Structure formats: C-alpha cells, structure tokens
Amino acid sequence: MMFVSIYTVTKKLPSVVKDILKISMSFPLAITASELAVNYIYDFKRFLKWSGIHHRCKTQTHLRAMITMDYHRIEKGLSLKEPRVGFGQEVIQMLLSNLDEYKEKYGIDETFQIALNSLFTYYKFNVDRGHKNEKIYEIITGLKDLINTKESTIKEGGVKKVTRNSILESCQIDFRAFCQSRYSIRHFTSSEVDINLIVQAVEIAQKTPSVCNRQSSKVYVFSSDEDKRKVLSYQNGNRGFGDQVSKVLIVTSDLENFVSIGERNQCWIDGGMYAMSLVYALHSLGLGTCCLNWSVTSYFDQELKKATGIKDSESVIMMIAVGHLPEELKVAQSPRKKVDEVLFVK
C-alpha cells in the first residue's frame, strides 16, 4: 500500500475540518507545554525564595555561604604564583562585615574560625611585603581575641605548601582500571552495610570541588526496611532489585548556598559532582552502587520531601542504592561512545 502523509490528506479536507484537526493535534503539545511551564515555575519559585539573590542574609546557611565564598576568594588570591599586594580590599570589608553579623546572630563556630585564619594569612602576606593596614589588623585581632585559644583547634584556612612529588605519590593507582571496574549493581547480598563505611565514603566525597568551596551537598541515609520501601516507592528505576538494597542514599544540594542569578543551575553541577565522588568513594570501599535517577515532576519532588523531611530549599540530585557485592553477578555491558564522538580539539 502506498504511504499517504497526513499533509496530503488534509489538503483535500474542507477548511473547517482542517481547523478542527489542527486544534486537536495541538492539544498534546499544549498540555506538554503547560506541564513544562508548571515545573519551570516550581524551580523558579524555589530558587527565588531560598537563594541569596536578594542580597539579604536571611538564614544562617546563607550567611555562612557568603562568608565561605569570601574567605575562599582570599585563599584563591594567595594561591596564585605572584599574588598582588593589597588585593581584594572590597572582599575583605564584606567578609569582616559578615563575620560581625554572624558573631552577633549565631556565635563563633568552625566557619568563623576558618575565615579568621584566612584573614590572618592574608594580613601576614601583606605585612611581609611592607603593606600594613592597621585598621584591618585591629578588627581581625579583636575578632581573634574572642576565641578561646585553648578550645580552638581549627588550623585550616588560608594556604599551605605542597610539593609536586607529594601529589604524584598519592596518584600511584591505576585509576583507569578503577573506573572501568565500577558497574551499576542490581544484585546484592543480604549482608547489612555498616554505617561506618557510609561515613568513610562521605568523608572522601567531601573533597569534591564546589563553587567557591560552599559545599552545598548533603547526604541522607535510609536503612530500615520501612524507610527504604517508602523512599524507593517514589523512584521507578529500582524495580526488581530495590528490595535487596542495604542502604538508600539521597544526595541533595541546598539552594541557600547560591547568591546570584547566574548560579540558578549550580546546584545540579555541584550536587552532580558530589554524587559521582560519593559513588567512586563507595566503590573504593568495596561496595556496590546503582545511581537512581531523580528526573521527576514537581509533584513527586514535593511528595518525596514530605515523606523524608528534606527541606524545600534542597534540590534532590539523585538516589544511590548501596549494598554488598555477591561472589558472582551479571551487569549491563553499557557500551560507551568512542572518544572521537565526544572529544573535539579546537
């Protein structure tokens, strides 16, 4: 039979019938567009509500993010080959102002101390090069004096020297083989995964790069059969093996850590990088993992948060199924694209 296109058929129809046909054919597109708009509005409202784009430190998390961003700017400047003497005066003033506000509202904690250590490193760098700002020094010293030196053990902040050899010595592993040996596992033993292994993996993943070191990612662990069933019921990709999983992890990224319109998608970048680090960390500890996709509508996103107590300000990046590997199992081959399909040298 000769194939006849819809276009050929409609040419021969009366104009009224054509109009009706066009309207009926546009319904699916209109429905899809409206659903897409609803979900974009959901993301828009959440970012507008929870991020710091209003330049108001509404929450402790937001103010901590601003402080971290600014002290990390100092660290970045000091880590250059030849830092400019007296650089970053506006950043210093902003940091000092935010530290004063933070102290009044929330007291002195680790973030506060790290920021002060960075400021002292900055001040020493400038003094050693003949640039001394007494006003800044007095403010920094005044803040420093508030900390009980006997109780303070926080040494991080600023810069430190490392050697090329120390880095290369730590790289003496076959990373290619390590990556090639990692599979999405859908067959686990009945053995319980010790929570200490999850803690170790999270400690490893904490080294993941994040925008201005703001570290927006969080990890939720679900262990009981009831909690795992509840969480996995919102995710369709675990059918056939979800009941074997020892731990279910949910990785999120908190929008309160982002402060500009340009960072409206940063949670997915930071959160995605963190999730990959966590998966490799779990793999390094001999555990099997399967990344469980969380590309869902706003309805399911809200329902999961209600069921788990995850804050509205947090964007769910993915779930990760974790368990012990059996002696032998089958995995999907999942062939990858050739390098020349994805690498473009300009």
Q: Based on the domain organization, do 121 and 225 belong to the same domain?
A: no
Q: Based on the domain organization, do 82 and 185 belong to the same domain?
A: no
Cα angle: 98, vertex 99, 101; to 5 degrees = 65
Q: How many domains does the chain have?
A: 3
- The pLDDT of residue 24 is 60
Q: Identify which has the larger pLDDT, 123 or 154.
A: 123
Q: Based on the domain organization, do 117 and 232 belong to the same domain?
A: no
Place of tokens 């058929």: 9
Average confidence (pLDDT) over 147-151: 59
For 223-278, the pLDDT digits (tens) are 999 999 999 999 999 999 999 999 999 999 999 999 999 999 999 999 999 999 99
Q: Helices H, strands E: what count in the chain? A: 13, 4
Q: Based on the domain organization, do 202 and 285 belong to the same domain?
A: yes
Domain that holds residue 78: 60-144
Judged against a pLDDT cut of 90, whether residue 28 lies above it is answered with no
- Any domain includes 159: no
Using CA of residue 176, residue 342, residue 266, residue 304, what is the dihedral sign? Answer: negative
Share of the chain above pLDDT 90, in %: 77
- Any domain includes 67: yes
Res. 19 pLDDT band, cuts 50 70 90: low
- Any domain includes 15: yes
Tell me whether residue 114 is exposed, middle or buried, using C-beta atoms within 10 angstroms of its C-beta: 0 to 12, 13 to 18, 19 or more.
buried
Q: Based on the domain organization, do 217 and 291 belong to the same domain?
A: yes
For 81-140, the pLDDT digits (tens) are 999 999 999 999 999 999 999 999 999 899 999 999 999 899 999 989 988 888 888 887
- Any domain includes 297: yes
For 324-334, the pLDDT digits (tens) are 999 999 999 99
Q: What global pTM score does this model have? A: 0.88
Res. 54 pLDDT band, cuts 50 70 90: confident
- For residues 237, 242, 247, 252, the Cα torsion angle rounded to the nearest 10 degrees is 20
**Residue 323 CA neighbour count, 13 Å, CB half:** 21
- The conformation of residue 192, written as its DSSP 8-state character, comes to P
8 A C-beta contact, residue 66 and residue 52: yes
8 A C-beta contact, residue 258 and residue 51: yes
- Any domain includes 157: no
